[in-house]
Amino acid sequence: MDITLTINDEERPVTIAPGETLLGVLRRLRYVSVKHGCEDGSCGVCAVLLDGQVVHSCVMLAAQADGRRVTTVEGIGTRDHLHPLQAAFVEVGAVQCGYCTPAMLLAAKALLDENPRPTETEVREALSGVLCRCTGYVKPVEAVLNVVRCEGEVRDATTVQ
């Protein structure tokens, strides 16, 4: 069947099988920042933004996303122009193996788009759907809170998308 996804602001007609997950289609299209983890919605490494809201793409059929806007990490920053959240993750060292990092960035972005001044509890709640397999959550939380402190940067980030 044929669907259209708007991925990182680019309209992409795609032919899919009815049983393909959104995760499967995104990786097939080489959006490989979207990671393949548990396949049952528990670990969160497959997170993407759907119409700006964070969702787990492994438990959603691609067909359910027909006509909607999908955002992956490829769409929020580039190697030369990092998103402020990406820059903060680098600066703080909020990365070990990196497998959960794209999902953490998207979960954090969804939070800040909705609430530019979250409390630490709200940051922890927002990241809690993404499981880190290496070290933990202290540094990612610190990185997000650093961005919150630089409010000017956050405003730039939300306008750049």
Partner 1 sequence: MWSSLAEYHRPTTVREALRLLARPSPRTVPLAGGTRLVAERDPAVEAVVDLGGLDLAFVEPRGHHLRLGAMTNLQALVTGPKTRTLAHGLLAEAACHNVPRALRNVATLGGTLAAGGPTCELALALLVLDARLVIRARTRRTVSLEAFLSNRAEYLSPASIIVEIRLPMPPTDVGAALAKVSLTPRDRPIANAAAFVSRRNGICHGARLALGGVAPDPIRLPAIEAMLSGSALEDDLLTRMAQATATAINPPADSRASADYRREMAGVVTVRALREAWQQVR
Among 9, 91, 125, 156, binds partner 1 (CB under 8 A): 125
C-alpha 85/C-alpha 76 separation (Å) is 9
- Chain positions 84 to 113 lying near partner 1, rule: CB under 8 A, are 107, 110
Stretch that binds partner 1, among 11-19, 81-89, 133-141, 152-160 (CB under 8 A): 11-19
Query: Is residue 32 part of the contact set for partner 1 (CB under 8 A)?
Result: no
Query: Is residue 126 part of the contact set for partner 1 (CB under 8 A)?
Result: yes
How many of the other CB atoms lie within 10 Å of CB of 26? 25
Own/partner contacts of 120-129, CB < 8 Å, gap of 24 or more, are 120/145, 123/148, 129/44, 129/47, 129/54, 129/56
Residue 15 structure tokens: 């032919």
Note the residues at the interface with partner 1 (CB under 8 A): 1, 17-21, 24, 39-41, 44, 47, 50, 53-56, 58-61, 63-64, 66, 107, 110, 125-126, 128-129
